[in-house]
Amino acid sequence: MDEALRTSPRATPWRLWLSGGWLTLFFGVALLAPWIAPHDPLYQDLFLQRLPPFWIDGAETGHPLGTDSLGRDVASRLMHGASVAATVALIAGLATCLLGSVLGLLAGFYRGWVDQVISRIVDIWMSFPPVLFAILLVAVIGTGLTSVIVAIIVIDWTRFTRVVRAETMAQARMDYTEAAHVAGMSRFATLMREILPNVAPVILSVLTLQMGIAIVVEAILSFVNLSVSTDDPTWGGMIAEGRVSIHQAWWVLIFPMIALFLTVLSFTQFGDALRNRFDPVLR
């Protein structure tokens, strides 16, 4: 019977380390941007327009990633843009997760009319094209960081509701849920103790996905100039400005794109890797 208490050896989780590493860097830079950015991201120096990044001839030492067409430091703008992205990812991601998951749990566990109401609202909600919906919403309630966050929550909660509802229904059919009922546990206690812990890994992995998506939505809204005020540096805004001068200064476009790509990719990979590691069913 000794072999029954087994432990499983595991290979080094590269995916977890790489994505986790990038996210640490991302959040670190986002947090410390005001102190570590070499320049004021808004300071224009028209004598230093379109300086190339450091490995190309003509670069200035003070501007490692070059400058844009108004002479603003790309590296500094990238760092401050990370702050905006991180704020959106965290606040919009968590709020969306909370709203969507609670509704999903209720619908999947209590079923009946609760489920009917929630599911129909989800169906209706999902038939709006999301990005157009966001643009419309921001246009109506005005631009700014808060509007972007609200728009993301309003659009994306259905993603959590659907996934969490399905998983909750699967968990509610399990024998241990039934056993808890026979043992005289209240419905709410059963939901919190037997179901939520088993739905949590799924919620976690959708949450990381959602944080990535929130950053993309913020970038899209910045790109069409509906996000934070034009003065503030955002990755989407940088991409929009870089697009205009792509033939003269490609780096203005490329660096925020790389940052955006790596961050979103890391979020999804981190979520997946984390789930593989902590989901007891998959272990």
Partner 1 sequence: MSAYLEITGLNAVLRGTRTRVLRDVSLSVSKGQVHGLVGESGAGKSMIGKAILGVLPRAIEVASGRISLGGQDLGVLPLRERLRVIGSQTAVIPQDPLTALNPSRRIGPQMTDRLTRTLGWQKTRANHRALDLLEEVAIRDPERVLHSYPHELSGGMRQRVLIAAAFAAEPKLIVADEPTTALDVTVQKQILKMIADMQTRHGTTMLFVTHDLGVVARVCQSVSILHSGMVMEEADIRTMLTAPAHPYTAALLAATPRYTDPEASLVPVSDTVLAGVAEAIRASDTLWGRA
Does the protein bind partner 1 through residue 197 (CB under 8 A)? yes
Instruction: Give 162's contacts (C-beta < 8 A, 6+ positions apart).
Output: 104, 122
For the bound state, the minimum distance from the C-beta of residue 180 to partner 1, rounded and expressed in Å, comes to: 7
Restricting to residues 36-65, name those near partner 1 by CB under 8 A: none
For the bound state, the minimum distance from the C-beta of residue 35 to partner 1, rounded and expressed in Å, comes to: 41
Restricting to residues 106-145, name those near partner 1 by CB under 8 A: 111
- Contact status, residue 230 vs residue 143, Cβ threshold 8 Å: no
Radius of gyration of the chain (CA): 23
Stretch that binds partner 1, among 17-25, 115-123, 169-177, 265-273 (CB under 8 A): 169-177
Stretch that binds partner 1, among 28-36, 171-179, 235-243, 246-254 (CB under 8 A): 171-179
Q: How far, rounded to the nearest angstrom, does the alpha carbon of residue 67 sit from its chain's CA centroid?
A: 28
Which of 33, 180, 206, 238 lies at the binding interface for partner 1 (CB under 8 A)?
Answer: 180
Q: Closer to partner 1 by CB, 45 or 279: give it.
A: 279
Does the protein bind partner 1 through residue 193 (CB under 8 A)? yes
Closest to 77 (Cα-Cα) out of 88, 59, 65: 65
Which of 6, 35, 132, 140 lies at the binding interface for partner 1 (CB under 8 A)?
Answer: 6
For the bound state, the minimum distance from the C-beta of residue 161 to partner 1, rounded and expressed in Å, comes to: 21
* Structure tokens that stand for 122 in this block: 């989800």
Which of 183, 188, 231, 247 lies at the binding interface for partner 1 (CB under 8 A)?
Answer: 183
Which of 14, 47, 127, 283 lies at the binding interface for partner 1 (CB under 8 A)?
Answer: 283
Does the protein bind partner 1 through residue 185 (CB under 8 A)? yes
Q: Closer to partner 1 by CB, 193 or 243: give it.
A: 193
> For 207, how many CA atoms within 13 A lie in the half-sphere containing its CB?
17
Amino acid at 162: R
Which of 46, 184, 188, 247 lies at the binding interface for partner 1 (CB under 8 A)?
Answer: 184
Number of alpha helices (DSSP H) and beta strands (DSSP E) in the chain = 11, 0
- Contact status, residue 251 vs residue 74, Cβ threshold 8 Å: yes
Stretch that binds partner 1, among 64-72, 130-138, 149-157, 192-200 (CB under 8 A): 192-200
Give the DSSP per-residue string, 15-59. HHHHHHHHHHHHHHHHHHHHHH-SS-TT---GGGTTPPPTTSTT-
Which of 124, 189, 244, 246 lies at the binding interface for partner 1 (CB under 8 A)?
Answer: 189
Closest to 277 (Cα-Cα) out of 12, 3, 6, 24: 12
* Structure tokens that stand for 230 in this block: 């034009």
Binding site for partner 1 (CB under 8 A): 1-7, 111, 174-176, 178-185, 189, 193-194, 197-198, 200, 280-281, 283
